[in-house]
Amino acid sequence: MSYLSAIILGFIQGVAEFLPISSSGHLAVFQSFFKLSDLEGGHLFFDVLLHLGTLIAVLIAYWHDIVELVKEFFVMCHVVKLPAGQKNNALARRQIFMIIIGTLPLLLVFPVRDYVESLYYNTFFIGAAFLVTGTLLFLSDRVNHGHKTEKEMTVLDALVVGIVQAIAVVPGLSRSGTSISAGLFRGFNRTYAVKFSFLLSIPAILGSNILSLIDAAKEGIDTTLIPVYIVGILTAMVFGYLSIRLLKFIAQKGKFGGFSYYCWGAGLITLILSLVA
């Protein structure tokens, strides 16, 4: 893999991870049709490293919220004691609980992990999943504007968003697009739907990174590619952060419809290329 390929794939990951157009689908399609890297030669490991870059972008973009959640988590676990007279952060504690509930459905993915990874080589499936993502975004624009935030959301709300996120581990289904859409369908405020989707991505991406890095360590890592990997991670981080800022701005304005048309176009092109390639 060249530095140029790493930069291109890092750009795709950074933009597509947070804009609701499926980073995993785009990475698989570009690597399959344009041979940006050896598809059978560990591209999933590099994808995981790119996800590490976008995880750093989330940490930067929501640093204040994450610090409050981590502090309250340590208080909950009695690792840290609050100063005398200071009360627990009830809102942060409720947010932590909802994130845990939303993360639980990912445990159901582990037994079928090998099957999910095999879908990365099925571009016809990815094209169809792009079409589904576009349809969900189109429909989410047409639901009534909700008002729920961490104060009003229920356990069922968190569970539904978490189940949708777990389903979206397949390439072509946008994790952010489907989880944001699910939040909107459940009556979330548009800005909070984006925020909860990104906060929920942290344990999902972190867990995926740990599992894949363990597998990679067992098989051996090509240390000569470490500089290339670093370039890819940094590229994904920078463009991921910019994409988060853009999506937050779009959420405030209230429309995701443009992304639905993009996903439909990407899906049709992928299906056509799958049939003629």
Q: How far apart are CA 176 and CA 22, in angstroms?
A: 8
**Beta strands, E only, 4-153:** none
Question: Contacts for 163-166 with beta carbons within 8 Å, 24 or more apart?
Answer: 163/105, 165/102, 165/105, 165/106, 165/197, 165/200, 165/201, 165/204, 166/105, 166/106, 166/108, 166/109
How far is it, in rounded angstroms, from Cα 195 to Cα 149?
10
Count how many domains the chain has: 1
CB atoms within 10 A of CB 66: 16
Q: How confident is the model over 127-159, as pLDDT tens digits?
A: 999 999 999 999 998 888 789 999 999 999 999
Query: pLDDT tens digit string along 56-115?
Result: 999 999 999 999 999 999 988 888 888 777 888 889 999 999 999 999 999 998 889 889
Interatomic CA distance for residues 265 and 166, integer angstroms: 25
* Full domain range(s) for residue 72: 3-276
Instruction: Compute CA 66 distance to the chain's CA centroid, rounded to the nearest angstrom.
Output: 17
What pTM, to 2 d.p., does this model score?
Answer: 0.86
Q: Look at residue 41 in the predicted model and tell me its pLDDT.
A: 46
Residue type, 195: K
- Whether the per-residue pLDDT at 39 is higher than 50: the answer is no
The per-residue pLDDT for 40 is: 41
Handedness of CA 30, 259, 66, 234 (dihedral sign): positive
Q: How far apart are CA 206 and CA 264, in angstroms?
A: 30
